[in-house]
Amino acid sequence: MKKIIAILLLNVHLFNLGGYHFVFQYFIHQSEEQIVKEIYENKIDATKLVEIKIPVHLPGIHKWKNYVHVNGQLQLKGVYYNYLRYKMAPDTMSFICIANSVKTQLVTANLVIAKEFNDVPLSKKGHDSSLKKASWGAEYSFQIPDFKFAAFSTLLKTKLSPIFYPLNNPYIESPGKPPNFSC
């Protein structure tokens, strides 16, 4: 009986140390999967779509006429969005997004619970805003394309033909003495 109580108390302690974080990550992952599934099945209500324009300075980019259909995630001012398509201009990036309110609520709740467990005082908003961004581009999170190159299935046979000339005598015969050099 003492072993069972000890194991139970150990599990409660380990959950308090960081288990809640894993539970929140699981639920966040499930919400992301759900919204991506809705996007691929075209179950997204067109009235919930939002256009977000982000100012950028890209002088080498020409203005795109149409949106590119790429799925990804974007966080702006504490709200998480899943974007469906985007287009670029030299001064702005336009995203067509849907707000992921479930993920936003879960991340906010995770921050509040983590700070309560760690005895960190909360601000009036419910989370600490004392952390500053490192640079102007730190608040944007873009997908990085991952390329994988595969080798061809047929390989060419290489034929080695080294240049080799056998030398019987390594010394070269001289026709005579070298000329005398004097200034």
pLDDT at residue 123, as a whole number: 61
**Using alpha carbons only, what angle is made at residue 179 by residues 177 and 183, rounded to the nearest 5 degrees?**
150
What would the pLDDT profile of 136-173 be if each residue is shown by its tens digit? 555 555 556 666 666 656 666 667 777 766 777 777 77
pLDDT at residue 130, as a whole number: 46
Q: Which helix (H) or strand (E) holds 92?
A: strand 92-99
Residue with tokens 């969005």: 81
Average pLDDT of the chain to the nearest whole number: 77
What is the share, in percent, of the chain residues with pLDDT greater than 70? 75
pLDDT at residue 118, as a whole number: 67
The residue ranking higher by pLDDT, 134 or 8, is 8
Can you tell me whether residue 21 is helix, strand or coil?
Answer: helix
pLDDT at residue 26, as a whole number: 87
- Describe the strand order of the beta sheet including 68-76 as a list of residue ranges: 49-55, 92-99, 79-88, 68-76
Q: Are residues 54 and 93 in contact, defined by beta-carbon separation less than 8 angstroms?
A: yes
Band the pLDDT of 5: cuts 50, 70, 90: very high
pLDDT at residue 38, as a whole number: 83
Q: Does position 114 have pLDDT exceeding 70, yes or no?
A: yes
| Mean pLDDT calculated for residue range 78-98 | 87
Q: Does position 16 have pLDDT exceeding 70, yes or no?
A: yes
d(CA 105, CA 123): 17
pLDDT at residue 133, as a whole number: 45
d(CA 84, CA 96): 6
Q: How long a stretch of residues is the chain? A: 183
pTM to 2 decimals? 0.55
What would the pLDDT profile of 18-44 be if each residue is shown by its tens digit? 777 788 888 888 888 888 888 888 888
The interaxial angle of helices 20-40 and 101-117, nearest 10 deg, is: 170
Band the pLDDT of 49: cuts 50, 70, 90: confident
End-to-end CA distance of the chain: 110
Separation in Å, CA 100 to CA 26, 61, 124:
16, 30, 23
